Amino acid sequence: MMISHLRSGLLRKGICSGLLMLCCGLYGPAQAESSLPGMPLPLQPTPDVKVTSQYPMQFPNALGSHPAFPIEWWYVTGWLHNASGKPLGFQITFFRVRPPKVWANPSAFNPRELLFAEAALSDPRVGHLLTAQRTARAGLGLAGADRDHTDVWIRHWYLRQQGQDYETRINGKRIRYRLRFTPTQPVILEGLQGISRKGPDPKNASYYYSLPHLKVSGTVDIKGQRELVSGEAWLDHEWSAAYLPKKAVGWDWLGINLQDGGALMVFMMRRADGAPFWLAGTERNAQGQVHYIPAKDIRMRPTGWWRSPQTGIRYPVRWQMQVGSMHLAVVPLMDNQEFDASRSSGTVYWEGAVRAMTGQQTVGKGYLELTGYGGRLALGHRRSTP
pLDDT at 47: 66
Q: CATH number for the domain including 24? A: 2.40.370.10
B/e letters for 282-306, b = 16+ CB within 10 Å, e = fewer, are: bbbeeeeeeeebeeeebebebeeeb
Give the closest residue to 123 by CA, choosing from 73, 82, 164: 82
Predicted confidence (pLDDT) per residue in 329-362, tens digit: 999 999 999 998 877 777 899 999 999 999 999 9
Is the pLDDT assigned to residue 152 strictly greater than 60?
A: yes
In percent, how much of the chain has pLDDT > 70? Answer: 82
pLDDT at 155: 92
pLDDT at 1: 59
Q: How many CB atoms are located within 10 Å of the residue 340 CB?
A: 17
Q: What is the number of domains present in the chain?
A: 1
| pLDDT confidence band for 13 (50 / 70 / 90) | very low
Which pTM does this prediction carry? 0.86
Which domain does 318 fall in, by range? 13-29+63-370
> What is the CA angle 256-167-110, rounded to 5?
105
Contact 121, 142 (CB under 8 A): no
Q: What is the DSSP letter of 148?
A: S
110 located within any domain:
yes
Locate the DSSP E strands across 246-313: 250-258, 263-270, 276-284, 290-293, 298-307
274 located within any domain:
yes
Task: Give the residue-averaged pLDDT of 257-277.
Answer: 96
pLDDT at 243: 82
Is the pLDDT assigned to residue 194 strictly greater than 90?
A: yes
Contact 70, 241 (CB under 8 A): yes
117 located within any domain:
yes
Is the pLDDT assigned to residue 135 strictly greater than 60?
A: yes
Q: Which residues pair with 45 in a beta bridge?
A: 101
Task: Give the residue-averaged pLDDT of 213-222.
Answer: 97
Is the pLDDT assigned to residue 26 strictly greater than 50?
A: no
DSSP structure string for 100-146? SEEE----TTS-S-EEEEEEEEE-TTT-SEEEEEEEEESBTTTEEE-
The better pLDDT of the pair 11, 302 is held by: 302
| pLDDT confidence band for 34 (50 / 70 / 90) | very low
| Range with lowest mean pLDDT among 30-44, 176-190, 246-260, 271-285 | 30-44
Q: What is the DSSP letter of 4?
A: B
In percent, how much of the chain has pLDDT > 90? Answer: 70
Task: Give the residue-averaged pLDDT of 249-264.
Answer: 97
Is the pLDDT assigned to residue 25 strictly greater than 90?
A: no
379 located within any domain:
no
pLDDT at 185: 97
Residues 6+ apart with CB under 8 A from 282: 188, 190, 191, 210, 264, 265, 266, 290, 291, 292, 293
| Range with lowest mean pLDDT among 150-159, 258-267, 326-335, 374-383 | 374-383
The better pLDDT of the pair 141, 356 is held by: 356
pLDDT at 35: 33
49 located within any domain:
no
Task: Give the residue-averaged pLDDT of 281-306.
Answer: 97
- Element spanning 219, H or E: strand 205-222
pLDDT at 31: 30
Contact 161, 148 (CB under 8 A): no
46 located within any domain:
no
> What is the CA angle 11-12-13, rounded to 5?
115
| SS3 state at 82 | coil
pLDDT at 42: 55
pLDDT at 141: 81
User: How far is CA 29 from each of CA 103, 184, 325, rounded to the nearest angstrom?
Assistant: 11, 52, 58
44 located within any domain:
no
| SS3 state at 15 | helix
Q: Which residues pair with 259 in a beta bridge?
A: none
pLDDT at 5: 42
Predicted confidence (pLDDT) per residue in 67-117, tens digit: 999 999 999 999 999 989 999 999 999 999 987 766 666 766 667 789 999
Whole-number mean pLDDT of the chain?
A: 85
Is the pLDDT assigned to residue 147 strictly greater than 60?
A: yes
